[in-house]
Amino acid sequence: MIGRKHIPHYAMVLPFMALFATFFLYPIASGLYYSFFDWNATSRARFVGFDNYQHIVASRDFHDAMINLAAYVSITVPLGITVAFGLALLVDSFKGVWANFFRTAFFLPVVLPAFLAATIWRWIYAPNFGLLNMILGWMGVPSVSFLNNTGTMLYALIAVDVWVSAGFNMVIILAGLKNIPTHYYEAARLDGATKLQQVIYITIPMLYPVLFFVVTYGFISALQVFDIPWLLTGSSFAAYGGRQRALLFPVMDMMGRGFGGLHFGQASAYGFILTLVIVLITAGLFAVGRRRFAQ
């Protein structure tokens, strides 16, 4: 029984609960419900059981999207964090104006609108006359169509993604670096530790909670990759994923099924499959992290 004295407390959380239920719980429940229906958003929904799930899992596009995603995540997350870590160490080594300058410079891509970043990179990657091909041309390398060659498209995307995300991760890691007491490094130097040894034996262990956050966040973001490959490939709801679907990812496929094909039941089912994948990977990361913390 709710005591009379608790009523004001419940009344105070009621606005939040109402908004939370309306804009968070209801869409999830509604999405789950429609994932079992054939529904084009306007006509009467038809119950199809698990057909949407089966249809998606059996489809060519889902298969390609998942393979692309696995390759993308396995490269972009470790590479992105390594680059961010390196940048953080670099910025941390500067003092005063230069530290501010480099921090701002590296963070700039984070605040750049995605369409602008993609436009810049489409120019850089352009065959024959793009910046990258010009440089390669000086070295005698023939022109590469980075965004249309299925062998290079994924790496071209990863380079853009690392460029965009490194600044964000760098700022977080930098904040972690500032919290490491300097006397650890002083003691290490007295013991004759090299710079590399200081990083391996002091910096990384002391940064573990921060790195855990960055890794987890990086995985969750990477698993939902959408805007940069969409823009780099000039995708629309009529055609997306680039040449031979080399940059097709699950969120793109989900959006295409929903707004391109009006299969909102399938799109909902797709969302839940992707959510399940993200939850499983995140749970795995937390399990590993918990074990590491326990040590």
Partner 1 sequence: MNIARRLGMASVLALVLSPGAALAADPVTLQYWVYSDFAEGDALKLQQQFIAEFEKAHPGVKIVISGKGDDDLTTGEVTGAASGNPPDVFMNGLPFGAQLVEAGALDNVYAKWMAMPQGFRDQFDKDAIASCTPKPQTMYCLPYTGFNELLFRNLTVLKQAGIDTSTPPKDWAEWFEQMKKVKAAGKSAMPDQTQVFNSVASTYSIVGPHEEWGIDFAAKKTKINPETYAKALQLFVDMKPLASGTSRNDQATKDLFITNQLAFHVVGPWVDPTYRQAAQDSGLKYDFVLVPGAKPDQYAGIKAYEILGVAPGKNADVAWQFAAYVADKPQMLRWAKLLSRYNANAAAMADPEVAKLPLIAKSVEAVKYGLDVKPPYFVGAYPNCYNSIVTDNAAAVADGKTTPADGAKSLIKDLNDCIASN
Residues that bind partner 1 (CB under 8 A): 40-43, 59, 61, 119, 122-123, 126-130, 143, 145, 148, 234, 236-241, 243-245, 256-257, 259-262
Q: How many CB atoms lie within 10 A of CB 118?
A: 21
The distance of closest approach from Cβ of residue 289 to partner 1 in the complex, given in angstroms and rounded to an integer, is 38
Kindly report the backbone phi and psi dihedral angles of residue 236, in degrees, each rounded to the nearest multiple of 5, phi listed first: -140, 175
Measured from the CB atom, the residue of 6 and 243 that comes closer to partner 1 is 243
Q: CA angle 118-123-129, nearest 5°? A: 165
Q: How far is the CB of 223 from partner 1 (least distance, A)?
A: 22
Q: Which is nearer to partner 1, 80 or 241 (CB)?
A: 241
Shortest Å distance, C-beta 138 to partner 1: 17
Is the Cβ of residue 153 or residue 177 nearer to partner 1 in the bound state? 153
129 or 293: CB nearest partner 1: 129
Task: Name residue 50's amino acid.
Answer: F
For the CB of residue 247, give the shortest distance to partner 1 in the complex, in Å.
Answer: 11
Nearer to partner 1, 40 or 198 (CB): 40
Q: How far is the CB of 22 from partner 1 (least distance, A)?
A: 15
